Each structure stands twice: as C-alpha cells, then as structure tokens.
Amino acid sequence: MELYNIFLDDTRCCPEGYTLVRSAEECMEVLSTDRVYKHISLDHDLGSKSLNGYAVVEYMIENKIYAERITVHSANAGGGKRMYESLLRAREQGVFPSHVKVYLRPMPLFQKQI
C-alpha cells in the first residue's frame, strides 16, 4: 500500500516526496480521496479571505481523515496553536487513533515562492 505525503502552503517550497496543495479547498479535495497518508503538513494563513488551515483541520476531524504524522508548520502563532490543539483534542477524543503523532513546528516564511 502506497502512503502519501501532503504539504499545504501557499508560499513555501514543497519538500521532496510531498504533494503540494496551495489552498484549503484544494487540500480538502485531495484529502477526500481514499488515499492513506503518512504525513500531512499544514499551514494556517493561505492568502484566502474565506478558508485557512483551520478549515482543513475541521474537515479532517469531521471526516476522520488522518495520517501517521500531522504537523502544523504555520508561522502564525495563534492560528497554528489553535489547529494543533484541535488535532490533539480530536486524538484524545478518539476521532483519530492514539498512535497518530501531532506536532507544532513553525517554519520560517523567508523561502521563495515556487
């Protein structure tokens, strides 16, 4: 079984081995497939005035979509923390299996846009 890696960000360069998605809408579309995920890495601020990374977290929780590892890499301290805490709470409430690892690892914003 092939495991997939998703990287949600509208400005940062995508790590090798990841599928890049630039918007919350695109991310939710990709996550709606029947794929199994190894790592999902999420940003909060996506340049959209309507949907951000927190909307993706809500979608993941509502649809019980998870990966072996979920990382919130947003430099937005408040938004990133809110996403991280929601993911932890979902795991604690049994929405995600207890083995799912959730991390808060802000990334710098100075990378060039691709």
74-88 pLDDT, tens digit each: 999 999 999 999 999
pLDDT in the model for residue 112: 52
Q: Please check whether residue 17 lies inside any domain of the structure.
A: yes
pLDDT in the model for residue 51: 94
pLDDT in the model for residue 108: 83
What predicted TM-score, i.e. pTM, was given to this entire model? Answer: 0.92
Q: How many domains, the chain?
A: 1
Q: Please check whether residue 109 lies inside any domain of the structure.
A: no
Rounded Cα gap, residues 37 and 7, in angstroms: 11
Nearest-CA neighbor of 88 among 60, 50, 63? 60
The segments of the chain whose pLDDT lies below 50 read 114
pLDDT in the model for residue 18: 98
Q: Please check whether residue 111 lies inside any domain of the structure.
A: no
Distances from the Cα of 39 to the Cα of 22, 49, 50, 107, angstroms: 16, 26, 25, 16
Q: Residue 41: which domain range?
A: 3-104
